Structure 1
Amino acid sequence: MASNAPATSAARPLEHMTKLSPCVYFYRPTTAPPAPSTTGATASQKPAPKLIILASWMGARDPHIAKYLVQYQALFPASPILLLRSEPRHFIRPRGNAAEFSPAVPVVRSIFPELGDATADDKQTNPPQQQQPQLLIHAWSNGGASALLHLRRAMGPVAAPLPPYTLVLDSTPGAFRYRAAYLAFTTGLTGLARWFVAPLMHLMCVMYWVQHELIGRGRTGPLQSTRGALNDAASRRSEVRRAYVYGEGDRLVHWRDVEGHAAEAEGKGFSVKTEKFEGGEHVAHVRVDAARYWRVVKETWEGWD
């Protein structure tokens, strides 16, 4: 976990991060100034997060991830950043996912040593909405949201709830829709590659539908597990507030599924704010209005009351 300078290069945009595993990276800031913001983002005046967890969308490329990292370095120059990367194999072969994300556990525990201390947990009596957040979490798409669940499982079944945190959910969580699932696994493929892969992807979608939607009646499968975990009792004990960022132009995660989840969360006592970006496409809402997007992130951390 050695310190790394925030400088990046076009060839290696994540070179300032320490690679702990194929899907876990860690950045610890130095005294060097953060990379300049391209959206006018300025450092928050509130106490900075002790840790920022960024859970990227499935198959996200380094240059795209780096664009968000730069903004977070501008907003919170002194905060370390833990990156969780989602890959197609995490959905295709779900067994063992917690082990893949286990290198992130020592990082989280080193920054929050009180985790797992039942005595410390018992002393915390205030509802999360009245607490000062210590952790900021930002997840993109179903891949990023599911990575958070894998991390939670990697921390063990007896792990105490996370410290008070805020959560930004970008283009997530979705529910199973056949066309959206097919597009999620074939986006970026063209020509012969798409022609060869298409039958396999259709087969996977049919198998998922039969197993989880028909036999499981929409109550089983990784998508449903992720949706449920975001609104469960463990999350309610630690989450200060959350924002949903989504748009009607998203072909992979339907906006109604996001709004339905937000309504469910609010009904369970979560502090919720929804931000619909008109014309916003999947994990590209920042392109519609970058200043608004980063204002949502900042306000989610600082509070909107």
Structure 2
Amino acid sequence: MASNAATTRAASPLAAMTKLSPSVYFYRPTTPSPATADTETISSQNPAPKLIILATWMGARDPHIAKYLVQYQALYPTAPVLLLRSEPRHFISPRGNPREFAPATPVVCSIFPDLGTTPMTPANKAPNPQQQAPQLLIHAWSNGGAASLHHLRRALARPAAATAPPLPPYTIVLDSTPGLFRYRAGYRAFSAGLTGLAKWLAAPFLHALCAWYWLAHGLVGRGRTGPLAAAAAALNDGAARRSEVRRTYVYGPGDRLVHWRDVEAHAAEADKRGFRRARRERFEGSEHVAHVRVDAGRYWRVAKETWEGVD
């Protein structure tokens, strides 16, 4: 039995999760996961999240996702986990996005059944979210993760309660996001994982895609249109401000896909818009969505402190 279980894990690192669509996976714990070396010294004493949402970077592979999943399972073994995966097709052909991310909606609503049912009015105005205990933990990586989270929030928004927060009180870790579109960075993002002949054959199409995006959204749209701008704006909009308890930006100057100045500019905008708990954690010597490799202890301590309220 142990051999068969080991073989299953090796074949599919996400085997413990239920695949609801090509982009949505769900894990509901049955027994607590054993602590790993990175989590033994920072085990949480606070109440666990009612739900953890992991919105991964574009093209993230199963073994890489599983490392974060296992770590959160060790930190909060009783918390269910919703995984939102980002793929190049979500940017190239966005029409199918609502269908792919739709299965995430009933999962969130089953855990938070009162979500978005009561519009905000002066009479029933909710308290400052920063004074509430968070119920939801979100961890998003890169622009792909930020975009997936935006898709989920749009799916959860109900016209009958347009002013109600689409999410319960939450904390969020923003790893290597959000960033503005930059041609070279965009090309690197879409060509990541391609090598040799495959990269050479795909190059013309990828350059055409990046050129179109730059013309449509960089030049004509002045950086204010397109999926990247929409995802970044949603993180700082009024709905987020009504739900968010605190956030942490994890970024670094070694990132060649999302410029560190874009992240800091977004954090500065968050300050101006009233997000008073926008923490910045700058990692030196790390690459895109690889900050955990430089200092795993610091990375997971920051993630834990974001949830537990250590500014």
TM-score bucket (shorter structure): over 0.9
Q: Displacement of 1:230 after TM fit?
A: 0.4
Gaps of 5+ in 1: none
Name the TM-score, length of structure 2 as normaliser: 0.92
- Among all aligned residue pairs of Structure 1 and Structure 2, give the percentage whose two residues are the same amino acid: 70
Q: How far apart in 2 are the matches of 1:123 and 1:7?
A: 54
Aligned to 1:215: 220
Aligned to 1:163: 168
Structure 1 residue 251 corresponds to structure 2 residue 256? yes
Which amino acid in the other structure matches residue 81 of structure 1? V
* Count of aligned positions: 300
> Which residue of 295, 298, 302 corresponds with 1:296?
302
Question: Any residues of structure 2 matched to 1:1-305 within 5 Å, and which?
Answer: 9-31=9-31, 33-41=32-40, 42-118=42-118, 123=124, 125-158=126-159, 160-161=164-165, 162-270=167-275, 271-305=277-311
Contact 1:10 1:63 survives alignment (8 Å): no
Q: Displacement of 1:183 after TM fit?
A: 0.2
Contact 2:35 2:75 survives alignment (8 Å): no
Q: How far apart in 1 are the matches of 2:197 and 2:95?
A: 30
Q: Displacement of 1:195 after TM fit?
A: 0.7
Q: How far apart in 1 are the matches of 2:287 and 2:272?
A: 27
Taking a change above 3 Å as real, the CA distance of residues 226 and 119 of structure 1, as seen in their structure-2 partners, is closer
Q: Displacement of 1:8 after TM fit?
A: 6.5
User: RMSD of the TM alignment (CA)?
Assistant: 1.8
Which piece of structure 1 moves more, 78-87 or 117-126? 117-126
Instruction: Deviation per CA, 1:101-133: give whole Å up to 9, x if none.
Output: 010101100000011221798645310100000
Instruction: Deviation per CA, 1:196-247: give whole Å up to 9, x if none.
Output: 1011111111101111111111111111101100000000000000000011
Q: How far apart in 2 are the matches of 1:26 and 1:7?
A: 21
Q: Displacement of 1:17 after TM fit?
A: 0.6
Match of 1:118, SS? coil
Q: Displacement of 1:152 after TM fit?
A: 1.1
Contact 1:244 1:274 survives alignment (8 Å): yes
Match of 1:299, SS? helix
More helix by share: 2
